[in-house]
Amino acid sequence: MFNIHVERTLTKDIDSVFEAISDHARYDRFPGVDKSVLVEQGEEEKNGTGALRIIGAGPLELTERITQFERPTRMHYCIEKSSPLSILHTRGEIILQPDGERTRVIWISEGRIKVPLLGRTLDRLAERSFTKAFNALLKAIERL
């Protein structure tokens, strides 16, 4: 099982950080992301609860559904489909907390790669890769 937990304080206000994180169709502006498509709009907001997005990074493609959307403090998501590896995603949360003019971001993602025999090894690789990717995305938001 992979368990990713990234915490970072950004020198941006909470509204700006939330907008950058929730703007699914523009994830391709972040390092390593070469595809970002909003496939279905959310129920009440374009990027809100119910929204379906596809994020691609090299050969990896993730189809994610937004399951909870509370502007500007919380967004939960679930990976519904992935390729070329199958991922069983059990938790995806992004929590934002105001800290004066800054914003504390807590990003949690848990699940497992569903590959017989190699799954545990791939989970460890995924944990390192996604931790690095989440940190790079947050650094890029700070530079916006």
The model's pLDDT over 32-71, given as tens digits with 9 standing for 90+, comes to 999 999 999 999 999 999 999 999 999 999 999 999 999 9
Measured between its terminal Cα atoms, the distance across the chain in Å is 33
Neighbours of 43 (CB within 10 A): 11
Indicate the pairing of strand 60-70 with strand 74-83.
antiparallel
Confidence of residue 89 (pLDDT cuts 50, 70, 90): very high
Distance CA 73, CA 55 (A): 22
- pLDDT higher at 25 or 97: 97
> Which residues of the chain form beta strands (DSSP E)?
2-10, 35-40, 52-57, 60-70, 74-83, 87-99, 102-113
| pTM of this structure | 0.93
Sheet arrangement for strand 87-99: 2-10, 102-113, 87-99, 74-83, 60-70, 52-57, 35-40
Give the pLDDT of residue 5. Answer: 97
Contact (CB, 8 A) for 66 and 25: no
Q: Does the domain made of 2-143 have the CATH classification 3.40.50.11720?
A: no
- Reading the block at residue 88, the tokens are 């069983």
Per-residue pLDDT at 20 exceeds 90: yes
**Alpha-carbon span 67 to 131, nearest angstrom:** 21
